[in-house]
Amino acid sequence: MAKADFEVPVLQPYAEIPPVRTGTMSHSKPYVAKEDFQKPLGFPGELVDDWQDKAIDKMGDLLTRYRSLRVYLDSCVKCGSCTDKCHYYLGTKDPNNMPVGRQDLMRKVYRRYFTLAGRFFPKLVGASDFTREVLDEWYSYFHQCSQCRRCSVFCPYGIDTAEISMAAREIMDSIGVGQKYCNEIIGKVYKIGNNLGLPGPALEDTLEGLEEDVFDETGVKVRYPIDEEGAEILLVTPSADFFAEPHVDGLIGYGKVLHEAGVSWTLSTHASEAANFGMFIGSYDNMRRLARRIREAAIQLGVKRIVFGECGHAWRVAYSFLNTLAGPWDFLDPRYPVPQHICEFTHDLIERGKLQFDKSENDEMVLTYHDSCNVARASRMGDRPGGQFDIPRAIIRATCNNFYEMEEETIRDRTFCCGGGGGLLTDDLMELRVKGAMPRVQALNNVMKEKGVTHMAMICAICKSQFTKVIPYYGMEMEQVVSLHQLVSNAIVLTPQEQDEEDGELSHEAA
């Protein structure tokens, strides 16, 4: 069991709503970004002199640019429906981690400067000046929101705390108070092409290694091409897929599926990152700049289709925002949605009977499936609402014999965040991450006890990294976390091609 210098929550057989404990997480703060990490994103390097005025101006600007912000700040009636829905509240008991508590940190400033009631009767409506203390509260608690949108499901007005924490981070960035983790990573994408800062040659090396591994294991030459002009499909995947476990097993799986599909495909060094941390910091400009790298790569490589690998918020940006940020996609094949999720791609092949599986290959595992928040509540797969739930499950059922759901209130659109999303997947927030994972880990623990589940599959790079790191705190093994396409990879029956015995290069020409 991993050691912690804080109290790890005790898992219960039934979910409990904890009593309010004020200030339990007020000490939690991620590292502040230094000037080097702020400048490349167009933000001031340190707290600007007239930061109060600048922040209020920025808030005023965002209120005219984002209807969500204005409507959500006005509409809350403090009914309390959201108060027990946030995994960070359930794990930390801190009332500022209740969605409405978090929103109120901004709402009290909004009311003070932008509403009549707050201007004249601040005490009456809980309005407050934007003081240094309030800014510190903002920095702490708006970095305790993983933007998972679970609160928005249960709000009678659909108030989405993610929108408010994104705006708060944008306001803080604009006065020079950025978060190191997110902003450093965005800078790396601009400079090198991906979050992990892996240069092209390193990627090529890794992919070559994968080809050898798969060939050694299966005797079939599956290719993992990068920067191949004229390929049919551009695969954009989170850079963690190139190195991290169990992510890379997912990447191996995508390659095998694409191999069986008999379609040419390629990765890109320029767009070697599906993730888009511009969303986490609420910066339309940075999100757009990151998204347009994918457009540039698609044009440069002359592909006809774009497929995204397993990544939660990346799929939100891809599915919901890519057309807005980097479209129109009129130069791509109109017969396919742009972009497609690798699960949609795989599922389609399964439906058409193009893939053969030996399910027994996964028999040593009893699986459950974790719906990743951004996929579940901010995107779709397939052409029907809820396809984002059904398609991954259909793939699991096609590739595994043993599958059980977790408790109903913790799956599908009521799924719990892994606790590491929204730009919080950093070691300086470990306490928050461990505590925030509690509701999900508790549901996992229960299904392990009741159904003998051994592994949890998922389709998000952040979820995978987060769980492998935090479930050991709860006495579980990091190996219990698996990629969905790892299951596909295990079970898929590859078709040996004639060229496999000959020179591998020819096979591409034939395809």
Partner 1 sequence: MSFVSGFYAFLFYFALVILIAGLVNKLIQYARAPAPLKIPTTPAPTTSGGVVLRMVREVVFFESLFRGNKWIWIFGWIFHFGLLLVTLRHLRYLIDPVWLPIEFIQPFGIYGGMAMVVGLVGLWARRVLVDRVRYITSPSDHLILLLLILIGLSGLSMTYVVHTDIIAVKNFFIGLYSFQVNPLPEDPLLLVHLSLVAALTIIFPYSKLLHAPGLFFSPSRNQVDNPREKRHVAPWAERLEQE
- Kindly state whether residue 60 participates in binding partner 1, applying the rule CB under 8 A: no
Binding positions for partner 1, 39-58, rule CB under 8 A:
none
The sign of the torsion formed by the CA atoms of 448, 453, 454, 460 equals negative
The rounded distance, in Å, linking the Cα atoms of 6 and 429 is: 12
Figure out which of the listed residues 56, 164, 338, 462 binds partner 1, where binding follows CB under 8 A. 338
- Kindly state whether residue 201 participates in binding partner 1, applying the rule CB under 8 A: no
Q: Which listed range, 237-245, 260-268, 336-344, 502-510, lies at the site for partner 1 (CB under 8 A)?
A: 336-344
- Kindly state whether residue 319 participates in binding partner 1, applying the rule CB under 8 A: yes
φ, ψ at 481 (rounded to 5°): -95, 120
Figure out which of the listed residues 78, 354, 397, 449 binds partner 1, where binding follows CB under 8 A. 78
Q: Report whether 159 contacts 149 (CB < 8 A).
A: no
The rounded distance, in Å, linking the Cα atoms of 285 and 289 is: 6
Smallest gap from residue 401 Cβ to partner 1 (A) = 28
- Binding to partner 1 by CB under 8 A, coded x per residue (else -) over 154-193, reads xxxxxxx--x------------------------------
Least Cα distance to 138 among 81, 63, 59, 70 occurs for: 59
CB nearer to partner 1: give 233 or 240.
Answer: 233
Q: Which listed range, 167-175, 324-332, 353-361, 418-426, lies at the site for partner 1 (CB under 8 A)?
A: 324-332
CB nearer to partner 1: give 358 or 409.
Answer: 409
Figure out which of the listed residues 1, 10, 116, 510 binds partner 1, where binding follows CB under 8 A. 116
Smallest gap from residue 3 Cβ to partner 1 (A) = 32
Q: Which listed range, 74-82, 204-212, 226-234, 263-271, lies at the site for partner 1 (CB under 8 A)?
A: 74-82
The rounded distance, in Å, linking the Cα atoms of 335 and 304 is: 10
Q: Which residues are paired to 368 by β-bridges?
A: 456
Contacts of 177 by beta carbon, 8 Å cutoff, 6+ apart: 32, 47, 51, 135, 139
Figure out which of the listed residues 320, 454, 499, 507 binds partner 1, where binding follows CB under 8 A. 320
- Kindly state whether residue 344 participates in binding partner 1, applying the rule CB under 8 A: no
User: Total number of residues binding partner 1 (CB under 8 A)?
Assistant: 77
The rounded distance, in Å, linking the Cα atoms of 337 and 329 is: 10
- Kindly state whether residue 83 participates in binding partner 1, applying the rule CB under 8 A: yes
- Kindly state whether residue 142 participates in binding partner 1, applying the rule CB under 8 A: no
Smallest gap from residue 77 Cβ to partner 1 (A) = 5
Query: Tokens 């209740």 identify what position?
Result: 98
* Residue 243 C-beta-side C-alpha neighbours within 13 Å: 14
The sign of the torsion formed by the CA atoms of 29, 32, 37, 42 equals positive
- Kindly state whether residue 75 participates in binding partner 1, applying the rule CB under 8 A: yes
CB nearer to partner 1: give 240 or 376.
Answer: 376
The rounded distance, in Å, linking the Cα atoms of 432 and 448 is: 24
Q: Which listed range, 92-100, 433-441, 450-458, 460-468, lies at the site for partner 1 (CB under 8 A)?
A: 92-100
Figure out which of the listed residues 12, 65, 208, 356 binds partner 1, where binding follows CB under 8 A. 65
Binding positions for partner 1, 227-286, rule CB under 8 A:
284-285
- Kindly state whether residue 466 participates in binding partner 1, applying the rule CB under 8 A: no
Q: Which listed range, 15-23, 218-226, 270-278, 465-473, lies at the site for partner 1 (CB under 8 A)?
A: 15-23
Tokens of 483: 């990629």
CB nearer to partner 1: give 46 or 84.
Answer: 84
Figure out which of the listed residues 81, 454, 499, 507 binds partner 1, where binding follows CB under 8 A. 81
Please give the helix or strand (H or E) that residue 152 lies within, else none: helix 150-154
Figure out which of the listed residues 29, 70, 180, 359 binds partner 1, where binding follows CB under 8 A. 70
Burial class (CB in 10 A: 0-12, 13-18, 19+), 124: exposed
Figure out which of the listed residues 32, 71, 398, 478 binds partner 1, where binding follows CB under 8 A. 71
The angle formed by the CA atoms of residues 239, 32 and 467, to the nearest 5 degrees, is 40
The rounded distance, in Å, linking the Cα atoms of 407 and 124 is: 42
- Binding to partner 1 by CB under 8 A, coded x per residue (else -) over 363-392, reads -------------xxxxx--xxxx-xx---
- Kindly state whether residue 72 participates in binding partner 1, applying the rule CB under 8 A: yes
- Binding to partner 1 by CB under 8 A, coded x per residue (else -) over 21-40, reads -x------------------
CB nearer to partner 1: give 102 or 485.
Answer: 102
Q: Which listed range, 12-20, 242-250, 251-259, 399-407, lies at the site for partner 1 (CB under 8 A)?
A: 12-20
Burial 194-216 (b: 16+ CB within 10 A, else e): bbbebeeebbbebbeebbeebee
Burial class (CB in 10 A: 0-12, 13-18, 19+), 330: exposed
The rounded distance, in Å, linking the Cα atoms of 389 and 370 is: 10
Tell me the C-alpha to C-alpha distance, in Å, between residue 100 and each of 210, 250, 399.
47, 37, 42
Figure out which of the listed residues 9, 25, 85, 235 binds partner 1, where binding follows CB under 8 A. 85
Binding positions for partner 1, 393-432, rule CB under 8 A:
413-414
Sheet holding 481-483, edge to edge: 367-369, 455-458, 481-483
Smallest gap from residue 284 Cβ to partner 1 (A) = 7
